[in-house]
Amino acid sequence: MKLYKKIYLEKFTSEDFDQYYQLVSNEQVMAKITERSIPLDEAKEKFKLLLLNNALHPLFGHLKITEMDTNEFIGLAKLKVKEMGSIEAELGYMLLPEYWGKGICTQVASMLVEKAKSIKQLDKLVAIIDPANIPSRKILIKNGFKSDKLCEIDGLPGEILSMKV
């Protein structure tokens, strides 16, 4: 697949709330994640937790997806662990709608899987999606994930996919 843009991934910092909020306050973006946009106060609390998770480990966390040539914000990627010594990480991504269908999530998922494989600490990657999000499911399967189960997560339909690294 021809890549749409040259992108790079870097951890969110305290300076990046506006970009984060642009993403999570967008109803289209959040429709297949929380089924609702996130209001400002809740987004501020979630962003604080995101930054705490980013501080947990130098190699893992929530990353800004940025276009290399223009420095344009595209979305969020995550390779998140729950604690320093975790052998399992959660992989995820979300893009602003104008970047959907351009191969960027495929590129991001591939970058995150390669990063996970290069970090000897990890044994397993997990991804959680809305089962109705067929494009995301296809991206994950293409990158080596297998469906583990369909379930309810926080009252919403969910599918858990995983892969050994």
**Per-residue pLDDT reduced to its tens digit, 24-49:** 999 999 998 999 999 999 999 999 99
Tell me: pLDDT of 107 over 80. yes
Q: What is the pLDDT of residue 5?
A: 64
- The fourth-level CATH superfamily of domain 7-164 is Gcn5-related N-acetyltransferase (GNAT) (3.40.630.30)
> Which residues, at least 6 apart from 132, have a Cβ–Cβ distance to it below 8 Å?
32, 157
- % the chain with pLDDT above 90: 88
> Which residues, at least 6 apart from 41, have a Cβ–Cβ distance to it below 8 Å?
none
Tell me: pLDDT of 161 over 80. yes
Closest to 123 in 3D by CA, of 155, 147, 88: 88
Beta bridge partners of 149: 160
Instruction: Give the domain ranges of the chain.
Output: 7-164
**Predicted confidence (pLDDT) per residue in 59-82, tens digit:** 999 999 999 989 999 999 999 999
Please state, rounded to an integer, the average pLDDT across all residues of the chain.
Answer: 94
- Helix boundaries (H) for 31-120: 40-56, 104-118
